[in-house]
Structure 1
Amino acid sequence: MSDAAAPAGTGPRTVVVFSHRPEVRDAVRTAVGTHPAQDVGPVRWLDCATGAEVVAAVDRGGVDLCILDGEAQPTGGMGISRQLKHEVDDCPPVLVLIARQADRWLAHWSMAEATLTHPVDPLVAPRTVAELLRDRAGRPVVRGRAG
């Protein structure tokens, strides 16, 4: 994997999907698919069941997007999002899965760029993921944590 995000339309884009529940990760992958939009290229999914796995994946670099379950236990996706945004230089965009639209204010607190509600809508999810990947393609990626 290279240090830079793949330009639109080229190699696979790495998307972390995090939840302690495998059925939530499956629902996200099913709703988004492997090609959310033709101009962003294919998606390579990286499943994470713990917050520590998410942080380690982002620290290694090469992640283009994180989709984090805000209802995950024991550490929710909103807390992980906020941690990443404060600790990682040029953090990839974060999309938080929320249970209710009323939870959007918490996602805003978490510094996430976008939200999706449970159950994941297969018409909205690919568009949202594609938008975030397009935005990411225009920015250089810097690996590692801020010191």
Structure 2
Amino acid sequence: MSSAATVVVFSHRAEVRDAVRTAVGTHPASDVGPVRYLECATGAEVVAAVDRGGVDLCILDGEAQPTGGMGIGRQLKHEITDCPPVLVLIARQADRWLAHWSMAEATLAHPVDPLVAPEAVADLLRARAGRPAVHG
């Protein structure tokens, strides 16, 4: 990807959105290109942003209130044609089954690990662009 990828980051808590941006950074991998963040504090903002188009990835806080990221992710997958990939932030590994139910392509655990998050984001952006994941 040469142009900036647009990544929606959703949480009702600004500190969670900040933690995601800090952990992933603006260049998650050398072959992915820059990332531009669109922060959303409500589920309605996420749905409106994705509905407008141009979103390459959604990172949704599964613990958000009053509507959690898993429910929003599932809604997006059912309502948006060519829905961007969804990554759900989970508080416990036991919540992975809920993320699967939400149709998310990936999960990250709270707190967001800066060694793991960029690779997860880069893999989803590569997949969106039709390119294979790079590991090594």
- C-alpha contact (below 8 Å) 1:90/1:141 kept by paired residues: no
- C-alpha contact (below 8 Å) 1:98/1:115 kept by paired residues: yes
- C-alpha contact (below 8 Å) 2:70/2:98 kept by paired residues: yes
CA drift of 1:138 comes to 1.8
Distance 1:139 1:131, change over 3 A: closer
Q: What count of residue pairs does the alignment treat as equivalent? A: 130
Distance 1:120 1:140, change over 3 A: closer
Distance 1:48 1:140, change over 3 A: farther
Distance 1:91 1:47, change over 3 A: same
Detail structure 1 runs of 4+ shifted over 6 Å in the superposition.
139-142
**Counterpart pick for 1:47 among 39, 43, 46:** 39
| Identity of matched residues, % | 90
- C-alpha contact (below 8 Å) 2:91/2:110 kept by paired residues: yes
SS at match of 2:8: strand
Render the CA deviation track for 1:80-103: whole Å, top value 9, x for unaligned. 000000000010000000000000
SS at match of 2:82: coil
Partner of 2:3: none
CA drift of 1:140 comes to 15
Q: TM-score, normalised by structure 2?
A: 0.92
Distance 1:139 1:54, change over 3 A: farther
- C-alpha contact (below 8 Å) 1:36/1:129 kept by paired residues: yes
Structure 2 residues without counterparts, runs of 5 or longer: 1-5
SS at match of 1:45: strand
**Is 2:60 the counterpart of 1:80?**
no
Structure 1 residues without counterparts, runs of 5 or longer: 1-13
